[in-house]
Amino acid sequence: MARKTAKRLGITENPEKYYLFLNPYEEYRFTKCPKCDKKTKIRKFPLVITIKPGMLFLLNKSCKFCEKCQLIIARQREVEGFMAFEFSSVNPEIVGNDYLVIGTLERKDWQGGSRGLISPQEILEKVIFFKDHLEFEVIPARWELEKSE
């Protein structure tokens, strides 16, 4: 998915790293990795997000992270909340548009970008694309009375 976006944006040379899981669940915080069941850590990642039509948004966000699986877990509602907050005054008409979290940045590039020192085009050239977007379904534990036959 990220690769397709990259091609559309005319970038094909960027490195790929990490997997992203945009967590849609309110009630599950994934303190354990859904892939390997190890405890996740909390780490800040500068997330690069494209929003239709053609907007770029940088979000330095605390995420759950599994080092072993290279899996970043970001809460979808938080990501969307930050975007809505950011754009509600400057560009309210794009709030609610389709978006894609395409990758992350090296910390040094993020710092430049957040201070307006590098242009959106340069950010796109420096994006580290996610290898893939993963989805995990949570099957809630259920307990019920055993039916006696």
Instruction: Read off the amino acid at residue 66.
Output: C
- Residue 66 binds Zn ion, judged by CB under 5 A: yes
- Residue 70 binds Zn ion, judged by CB under 5 A: no
- Residue 101 binds Zn ion, judged by CB under 5 A: no
Cβ nearer to Zn ion, comparing 41 with 68: 68
Considering only residues 4-33, where is the footprint of Zn ion by CB under 5 A?
Answer: 33
Residue 6, SS3 per DSSP: helix
Cβ nearer to Zn ion, comparing 36 with 42: 36
Cβ nearer to Zn ion, comparing 49 with 66: 66
Cβ nearer to Zn ion, comparing 33 with 83: 33
Q: Can you list the positions of beta strands (E) in 29-123?
A: 41-51, 55-66, 71-75, 99-104
User: What stretch of H or E contains 122?
Assistant: helix 120-126
Cβ nearer to Zn ion, comparing 36 with 84: 36
- Residue 35 binds Zn ion, judged by CB under 5 A: yes
CB 62, CB 42: distance < 8 Å: yes
For 91-101, b where at least 16 C-beta lie within 10 A, e where not — what string? eeebeeeebbb
Kindly tell me the sign of the dihedral angle through the C-alpha atoms of 112, 113, 117, 121: positive
- Residue 69 binds Zn ion, judged by CB under 5 A: yes
- Residue 63 binds Zn ion, judged by CB under 5 A: no
- Residue 73 binds Zn ion, judged by CB under 5 A: no
Residues near Zn ion (CB under 5 A): 33, 35-36, 66, 68-69
